[in-house]
Amino acid sequence: MPFTPLETLAGGAILHLSTSSLLTSTGRVLGISGILDGSLLGDNAAWRHAVVLGLFVGPLLIAASGLDSITAVPGSGAALWAELGLVRLAIAGLLVGFGSRLGSGCTSGHFLCGASRLSPRSLIATAVFFSTAVVTARVLPAPIGEPAGVDASKPVWPAAWHVPILLVLVLGTAVANRRVTARVLAAGDHPDVVDDYIPALDNDKDGNRVVPPPPPPSYPLGVGSRTTPHSYTALQLAPYLLTGVTFSLGLILSGMVSPLKVIGFLRFPPPMAGFDPSLALVFLGGVVPNAVHWRGVVPVPTLPWEKWRVPSRTDIDWRLVLGSLLFGLGWGLAGVCPGPAVVAGGQLSWNLLSSVATKGPDAVFGVDGQALLGWAAFADLLVLGMAAAKGLDKAIVAAGPHVHPKKDDDRDVDKKVDH
């Protein structure tokens, strides 16, 4: 796919607005792998479900509004989902799921949010998974190529009338975030929040890891769960749902949902003609503004019933490095990570429904049907990989206090930071 600087920059700006708004209003870091893991395999907290739902339905709302018909919006990369093959996608999903769970984060938590805070763990994780993905994309290249005579590294500018639309989307995201937060505050209802159960994972005076006590009976959660679900009203879940929707918009505009764009970026030159530098603009539009926002943020959530839960760990352990390496392998194989995978599910589902509506049932056996099947293989194995990493955590816990895993603070852990 061609280099789309303005679209990707606008998408990066929306990713910044989405993540910074969530941090300011709720005190949470938008770590998609942790949110997805907790939603499917953890505490089942309503706020997690709201974010995941927003990610999935975001493409449907974009399609319903007609934005997907604008050439400035990159496509879903359905052709690559269909061409990569079920085995490659399944292996990639397994590696992405296991690696993001073991390494405590993915591109959203470590790169977009963590690197902007200059978190040592996130900087190391990003360096490991990015370099691994680049090598993987080079050694085990995906079956893609630019049409003859097309140079992916040359910028393609949107039509003049598309530029105001991009500006409206960015400004609209900022306004929507502010108004929803203000509306929730004005309602005055506070959810029945139960204080999070956070076991003491500390060292004793001799430096040995201390086994945490089991959670009290009032917390009927499985091993690895960190919180009890909060009792939110539908209105109080609105900021989380909006975060999912706007984050999906940012991912789509930036091109991160399309494996074609991602793998095109990971294919570092030579040759230059096959390299799409678009995603570098995510750093400029998303990470840099997040860094500026972080420097001025007040560590007290706007919503008074929330807590400040920003990761504070600085240690670099084998889990972080190995998990990031495995995640990078999977990312380099398919060009997909957890957040874009959820958004792609909604996008590819809509594509198939539209094809069936216009072409009839036989469309199920066409490119859109094959693409959705490939996505299902990736998604199923991603969840299986997360479950396997969680099983490893249980095994480490059972092995004794000296090898007890530390809390996965780099994703979306409910923990107050020490200032």
Residue 211, token pair as written in the block:
């086994």
- When mean pLDDT is compared across 74-88, 107-121, 135-149, the lowest value belongs to 135-149
Q: Domain for residue 308, yes or no? A: no
Q: Domain for residue 240, yes or no? A: yes
| Predicted confidence (pLDDT) per residue in 220-271, tens digit | 333 333 344 458 899 999 999 999 999 999 999 999 999 989 999 999 887 8
Percent above pLDDT 90 for the chain = 66
| Predicted confidence (pLDDT) per residue in 268-301, tens digit | 887 877 899 999 999 999 999 999 999 999 999 9
Q: Domain for residue 77, yes or no? A: yes
When the pLDDT of each residue in the chain is averaged and rounded to a whole number, the result is 85
Average pLDDT over residues 12-36: 97
Q: Domain for residue 305, yes or no? A: no
Cα separation of 285 and 16, whole Å? 7
| Predicted confidence (pLDDT) per residue in 340-353, tens digit | 999 999 999 999 99
| Domain total in the chain | 1
What was the pLDDT predicted at 26?
96
Q: Domain for residue 418, yes or no? A: no
Q: Domain for residue 412, yes or no? A: no
62 versus 391: the higher-pLDDT residue is: 391
What was the pLDDT predicted at 399?
83
Q: Domain for residue 417, yes or no? A: no
What was the pLDDT predicted at 190?
62
pTM value is: 0.86
Q: Determine phi and psi for 3, rounding to 5 degrees.
A: -70, 120
What was the pLDDT predicted at 159?
86
Structural domain for 209, as ranges: 5-298+313-403
Cα separation of 349 and 371, whole Å? 9
Alpha carbon separation from 173 to 11, 14, 26, 73, 297 (Å, rounded): 11, 7, 17, 16, 19
Q: Domain for residue 9, yes or no? A: yes
How does DSSP assign 357-392, residue by residue? Answer: HHH-GGGGGSHHHHHHHHHHHHHHHHHHHHHHHHHH
> Model confidence at 403, in pLDDT bands (50, 70, 90)?
low
